């Protein structure tokens, strides 16, 4: 085979896909195509149109490096620096959780709620904002809303700041470094319309059993104590203090944690203080989202 033929997109994709398969990568062909399309700054479909295009040495070296890193378990989104979320292309880099489709469903539920209540200018807080995916999406689709993203990670806030700038949202959003909702207490008590979070919820004992590429993501964005409920126990009472009457708390949960999180809501100081607690399932039928409204002091008496 001539050297030029060895370098064609068709040949390189096949070799790369075979290599990733041997290394146990879950979606070898797709990953090989996504990484090459990103490197060549083109669409995946155009790779097939240009199957006979030969890669130059610089392109070939860069692509081989990407494939080696993917084979070692580095997530595709860290290699491309991008992830689509809610039809928005976000900057995603090492140091933040990669946004998941399940979290898109959380955002959709919140958008539906805001529209049903005619909330045009809600005051939003995204707890554990990471890349800013939730905050950016809500502000993008609620053009009069204002929000704050909070994270304990300086690195995460750097990336969230890039995404706010990318979508021209810096004039409607702020970022705070701190532990859960502490940066807003007590100054903002009773003033917020919406608190939303996709917190860590995986038990420590299960982290080692996660897929290899997931384990490349920040441990502090995944693990939450012995039972995965540590963050909910701290966040829910804080949210109760900060939300106004009728305000919404929206949480992503592990698929087997719904009853425990509901119990935590009900046990929060002030019996009956949370009302209209709703459980939503994700596209796979798993219990994934909890919505709760803050009631008055007398609710449930």
- DSSP letters for 2-59: -HHHHTBHHHHHHHHHHHHHHTT-SSHHHHHHHHHHHHTTS-HHHHHHTTTPBPPHHH
Assigned architecture for domain 3-72: Orthogonal Bundle (1.10)
Query: What is residue 168's predicted lDDT score, i.e. its pLDDT?
Result: 96
Q: Is the CB of residue 85 less than 8 Å from the CB of residue 93?
A: no
Q: Percent of the chain scored above 70 by pLDDT? A: 95
Per-residue pLDDT tens over the stretch 30-62 = 999 999 999 999 999 899 888 888 999 999 999
Query: What is residue 2's predicted lDDT score, i.e. its pLDDT?
Result: 55
Domains 3-72 and 97-294 share a fold: no
The region, left, alpha or beta by phi > 0 then psi within -120 to 50, assigned to residue 276 is: left
Residue tagged 């807003």 (tokens):
184
* Encoded tokens for 180: 């859960």
The pTM of the whole model exceeds 0.85: yes
Q: pLDDT-based confidence at 218, cuts 50/70/90? A: confident
How many angstroms separate the CA atoms of 202 and 207, rounded? 7
**CATH for 97-294 (3.40.1160.10, 3.40.50.150, 1.10.3720.10, 3.40.50.1100):** 3.40.50.150
Neighbours of 194 (CB within 10 A): 24
Delimit the domains of the chain by residue range: 3-72, 97-294
Mean pLDDT of 5-29: 91
State yes or no: pLDDT of 268 exceeds 70: no
């Amino acid at each position: 085979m001539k050297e030029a033929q060895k370098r064609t997109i068709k040949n390189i994709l096949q070799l790369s896909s075979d290599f990733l398969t041997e290394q146990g990568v879950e979606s070898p062909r797709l990953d090989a195509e996504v990484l090459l399309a990103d490197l060549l700054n083109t669409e995946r479909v155009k790779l097939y149109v240009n199957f006979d295009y030969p890669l130059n040495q610089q392109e070939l070296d860069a692509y081989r490096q990407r494939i080696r890193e993917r084979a070692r378990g580095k997530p595709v989104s860290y290699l491309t620096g991008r992830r689509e979320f809610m039809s928005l292309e976000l900057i995603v880099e090492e140091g933040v959780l990669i946004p998941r489709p399940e979290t898109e469903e959380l955002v959709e539920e919140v958008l539906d709620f805001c529209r049903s209540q005619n909330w045009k200018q809600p005051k939003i807080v995204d707890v554990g904002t990471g890349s800013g995916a939730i905050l950016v999406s809500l502000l993008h689709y609620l053009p009069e809303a204002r929000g704050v993203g909070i994270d304990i990670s300086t690195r995460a806030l750097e990336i969230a700041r890039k995404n706010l700038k990318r979508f021209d949202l810096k004039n409607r959003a702020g970022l705070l470094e701190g532990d859960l909702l502490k940066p807003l207490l007590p100054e903002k008590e009773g003033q917020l319309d919406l608190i939303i979070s996709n917190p860590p919820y995986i038990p420590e004992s299960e982290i080692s059993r996660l897929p290899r590429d997931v384990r490349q993501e920040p441990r502090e964005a995944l693990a939450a104590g012995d039972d995965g409920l540590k963050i909910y126990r701290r966040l829910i009472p804080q949210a109760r203090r900060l939300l106004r009457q009728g305000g919404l708390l929206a949480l992503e949960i592990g698929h087997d944690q719904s009853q425990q999180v509901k119990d935590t809501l009900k046990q929060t100081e002030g019996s009956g203080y949370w009302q209209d607690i709703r459980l939503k399932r994700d596209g796979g039928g798993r219990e994934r989202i909890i919505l709760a409204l803050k009631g008055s002091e007398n609710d449930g008496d």
